[in-house]
Structure 1
Amino acid sequence: MIRFWKKFKKKISKNPSKPRSSLQLRYKAFLGLLTENEHALDLMTELENKYYNQQLISMPYLKSMIKNLARTVKNIIFDLSALSGGRYNHLLHAFEDMEKEVREFTSGSKDPIYTPIIIPMDKITARYIDKVGSKMANLGELKNKCNLQIPDGFGLTACAYTHFSEYNTLSEKIANILHKTDVNKSHELLAAEKKIKQLIADVKMPPEIEEVITKKSRKLEKNHNRRILWAVRSSAIGEDLEHSFAGQFSSILNVPARQLLEKYKAVVASKYNTRSILYQRVKNIRSEDVNMSVGFLEMVDAKCSGVLYTTDPVRPDKQEIVISAIWGLGQLLVEGAVSADTYILMRTPDFALSRKEIVPKKIALKLKEQGGLKQIRIPEELITRPCLTKEQLCQLGKAALTIEAHFKCAQDIEWCFDEKDQLIILQSRPLHLNTKQEPPASETRAPIISDRARPVAAGAGAGKVFKAGDIHDLFDFPKGGVLVIKNSSPQYIGAFQKASAVVVEKGNLTDHMSSVVREFKVPCVVRVPNIFSILENGREITVDATRGVIYEGIIHEILTHKVTMQPIVVNIERTESYCMLRKIADLIFPLNLTDPRAVSFKEESCRTWHDIIRFCHETALNEMFSLKDKAQLGKIKNIYKIKTKLPLSLFLLNLFENAVTTPDQKRIGADSIVCKPFQALWSGMNAPGVSWQGPDQMAQAGGIFTAMIRTPSFENIGYDTRSFAVVTPSYMNLSLSMGYHYVAVDSYVSDDPYLNHITISFKGGAADIRKRSLRILLVSKILKQAGFKTHVNQDFLKARIKAEEADTINNCLYIVGKMLAITRLLDLSIENETTVESYVTEFYRSIDLPLA
């Protein structure tokens, strides 16, 4: 979106065919303000989501966000000043006073800030999760709170990563590479990955970081009185939480001390693995917001290794512990390269073995004496021997319940037994669980292709088979296809958002890809013998990933099976970064200037950063439309009055002179407006069944349409209903004064889903605060069901949806338009939350989307 505005700012400022008139200069300032306003709202919405949803953030991330937001707000003020001829210059002084108060917190002048480069393992707890990431923080908890055995080591913090990046100006250089890369083309993406990794490998290590790594590694060798080989592991801030990043970053095993600096850079560079770039894009995560803490852990010479789930994620009601195990190191297991022994234990005091499956294990990874790994052949007598004894299974069961009790949620645990048969915990992270099971509505007699599949992510999906051999194939993957692969691997992340189901010939319930498909809520089965050769491309199949059955054809009754996932919640309230955000939140987020028609809507009333952003945006619209001097309105070339039967006085600014088909007229019909988001919204506002001024044939006794009719029409309300819109063919910024409430809708619709968005602000009403709040609750529930993220504060609502296909955005705008029409005065008649629920149900029953 920012790129869109910048492109047109240049178009106006560099157009040599026209003189730089006063109006053109106002256009340029207005465009600049819209650009910065959009950016400011993006930044603030992201920070608000982190704050209100208690999402993990690092101190460098928080400082960077506040710095960017402050710079953006200043730019908004500068643009408003240019647009208004300098009438609002003193607003800058007011903001600088607000910024100074925030800066006192972020600089540490009010309260000291702990920003270490390194934290030793015996000091790490969950309190430092914002500094060393959840992987290292959880290990620290197990060592220092649970007295479980983990590898010794230390964590290089997010602060160290930021210093490393800034020391070498990496962010700017990498952003330049990615900006020139079309991530939809595999060869360009792979070339960008190679270029970025080489860039990071070639830069210098800051002396401070080099010194602490060298000193700490030598100190640990001295303490243990032996040479140590190391595991250098990613522990990004936010990894293993809401976004698992499972298998997206690199960990490098059995590293000699002399290579630690080099391998640190390699782990940092893995942030730009092709699969990681795709993961971040699909999850709408900005690269600059991924802070790479790195763990340095003593390498364990594992006799056998594996993964343990404290609860079966597919069937959490079964009260079972799931354990996978292989000989040697566990890397082959989590990468899905080999099949593993599987043990199912009951969650009872004796950890009774419910069932097991022992598979041939012909290869293993072991440590080389001087560093690195080697693949060995398993001796004949061990190939079919179980990896674990009864005693070891009991040890794992006890550790599982101890760890789960400590973290208060189901866990995904990596473990190993060393050559002395000591249990060592290597990692523990929250486990994505199903929370709801709805089995298929009825049995089917459809032909079965396989009934031996192992479910790893419950649900059902159907479509045409698409066989993929590597990442290059994914760029042609069709939406709704069934991905069929030989080996599980997180590299297939690019297809998960489009896939209706995933089928894997090999793989394990506990590997990295299984974690990712559960996160994406994609039905998935593994261990389906010879399925890659059995199925051909284009063949229609149905995957029942709850029962582990693959059917011929599309079986609609099975597709009724829906699964929901339990959200992962981590307590971050004690982290230093969250505490700081809490201190400054009241100086930034609250919006006091909600109604532009109120007497208090003036610059002297701005008490927060949000107030200033809102005041500047509204004032800029007034300046551009010259609404303070209506006599000027007809003189401005690109401003029109919309002819409509709706009780609105709507003015439109045709920003780039390409969104109106009858430009010579000053009063135009809505059908003359060439603007995708406007037309989608307008069609909803004029949808069948919507009555703006009188009774309607769709009225049903006691329903939302009857309530709509019972409320006064706009004709009976003596209130200023002046509204205005700024449009281009793809963009709309609409400010509606509708009776006693005010609505702002900002939207962009294009062929690139990552530019598309809708942002809504909704405030006011004619009833008391309780009824206004009930109406806001209704609006929030309608929008949430459409896919919006919403934030409500009494009778004020903010909602946003972004990064969706054009059809989805258009449908959402239609819903918003119809919702605005139907709910505009329901606060006068809405009774209670039960009424709200019934209105939501009836509203969606009435929806007939014309744009899908």
Structure 2
Amino acid sequence: MRLPVWINPRNWRRKKPPVPFSVLFKKFKSILERNNAILELIADMGDKLGGDYIYDRQYILSSCEKLGDQVFKLVSDLSFLCQRKNVALFNAFEGIQHRIAEELAGRRTLSRTDHILPLAELTHDLADEGGNKMASLGDIRNILGFAVPEGFVITAGAYFEAMEQAGLRRLAAETTRRLCADGGQDLAEESRRLRQAILAMPLPKGLVRAVEQAAKQLSGNGRELLAVRSSAWGEDGESSFAGMYESVLGVAAGDILDAYRQVLASLFCEQALRYRLHHDQCAEEPAMAVGVMPMVAAAVSGGLYTYAPLGEQDQAMVVSAAWGLGKPIVDGTAETDTFLLSREPPHKLLSADISCKSTQLSLDPQGGTRTLEVTGPARDASCLSDEQLARLARTAMNLERFFKRPLDVEWAITSQGDLLLLQARPLSIRPRACALAPDAAEAAREAPVLLSGKGITAMGGVASGPVQLVGEGEDLSDFPYGAILVSRHSSPRFAKVMPKCRGIITDVGSATGHMATIARELRVPTLVGAGPATRTLRQGQEITLDADHVVVYEGLVEALCRNELVREDVFEESWEYRTLKRVLRHVSPLTLLDPQSEAFRPENCKTFHDIARYVHQRAVDKLIGLAETHQEITQGAPRKLDTRLPLGLTVIDVEGGLDPAAGPGIEEKDIRCRPLKTILDGMTMTGMWETAPVGVDMGSFMSSLTRTFGADMAHPARLGRNLAVISKEYLNLHLRLGYHFTVVDAYLGGSINDNVIFFRFMGGVTDLTRRSRRASLVAAVLEQFDFVVEIKGDMVTGRVKKHPTRAMLDKMFMLGGLIGYTRQLDARLDSDEAGQRHLETFFNRLAAVKETRE
């Protein structure tokens, strides 16, 4: 039933007096200011991870408090601007805030509650659930596509559930704190007591079912033996815990639960407790995830260091290999062949030391492993062929490029010749000196310089590789591994390829922008605002980027890269570093990349950076909508602007856009709004505004009269007047010049992150062909000035943002000229050649005026 007008609740809401546009505009400015403050806080916290600053626990706590306060107020500001409470966004904020609080308290929050995670689903994003070791294997398998044995992980959540049910979680925490307080007295006895309790504890029934079912499936109903491997928090991470935790090999599926308890108990072995004590990790609750994989019947196994310094100038990788399984190699008990290979393709063999290999470790069909005697020529033969060595080297360097640090890699080759990767952990290398090595400094002085002092360091470091030029909106799916991304603009969409690229250089960008934040989080050497980079660097050109010193060298500067590679960050072992790094996982990553995507929703905000991005985008969208529909603007008491051109322009000043002393009738000299003043200057530049009448064929004219001007062309309230809503930094301009409609929405403030211009042009009195030619001309001009352009029929939409204010004012000046020049141009575009001719004319006239302005 239709309700009477006077009792319909929707009509009650309509009667509520609208909030003045000036008040809403102030709230919009508040959003911009908070957004900048948030990005600066995130940038500052990210910079601290670089190792160039000293910070303490209080810095982390106060930064998190400031950040949470600013983000909450940002969400509140958006609710006020939109005049509705965004419950989903507030819920997202509270969830992120809770996870950060848990991190600061030493308790990690797990995003998955599964007992079991297949290796096929595991990446570094689930490192808390699967542990560092298995998460790295997941990256190698699922991102890089290298061969890794199938398997699954019994998660850290399963460990907590088992310890909680057995009443051991609190005991473990209290024991660890006590050992920390008394300096490790009675450590051996406490370790023995904890391990015995874990070995005897019953496991939750749901966990037992999940593990037994997964083990049965993985082993082919018990036909294959399994490896049960530790994957604890921190293992193979900043603190390696290498060799301290237990892994059980050759396990039958029916014995999987006993092996699982054995690995869990090793979390509290003496050496691990002492390691945590020494590395100030007593306040952090440990956890053990456990990887389960089928045993590999390896013909050859070994380890590989991707970097092994050999004196002042040379560098190599070192490969150790032996027959059979690799455990004796890792333990240091095997007789191994040792190979030194060049790190540079084609990875020349530098030396080979072939040992006498009398024994090998092999699988025992009855379960476990056994040591066998090596007989015949195999005792003194090389374990690896030249082809196998080259393949190992290529694979290892791909891994190093992905993880962006030297690695210790464990591998196996089957009797069929298949290479399987079993583990990859960071390789700790101590530099000979803290300062830049003499050979690196000399190499930098002698290397040809392509760019110097151009740009701002967003993330320091040194990187080398071929240039990969990336255009606006270009598909990144085929971005090559190991390249240096060079682009005109910075963009958060580059996050997709940051694991692939060695470095980033952009002509335009901000050190506190979205992309820079992600680059710091992923530790990709990055220069932004590097000016002529895309014009100076060539596609495929080999370069070396020194982001620390803002220099780009031609070719590979080996000594400089080597100096960067061996630089060890001892501070990474501190509580402050580990805590800040974990906190930043909930702060700096950006997952909301595309505002046009269905996924661009508040429910999908996973970090504070996501929230800032979402709010900024929605605030800009809302302001444009308000400028078109707000009652204060459409029905307000505006002032007429007397200009040099017949614009009939009406102005509404919301904040500081006009001289306070100006009267009801205003002139150009009264304008304080820089965007409006600049665009008017552009319209009146020499040769842009034609006053001579233009001939139009009657067919085109009659066709234009029958077209319906929809709401997307101009707001109904605007069809009779041209309107500018202004402040000192803001302009929303609606122009109807004859049958042509133009919208300009621009904010040019003091921060590069806030600067944005939106431009829309459509209409005309001629046929669609001529109007489309003019649309193509307008689009070509906009693209030349860095706009992201979209054409639909005769409508052209362009957007540009995050350029310095001076450059943005130049673009506004150009837009003024473009509006004037194209006002009646469609009538003259009777051929494609005419379109090209007028395009050249426009650029020539603009260049001539630019010379006189400069």
Taking structure 1 as the reference length, the TM-score comes to: 0.39
Rg larger in 1 or in 2?
Answer: 2
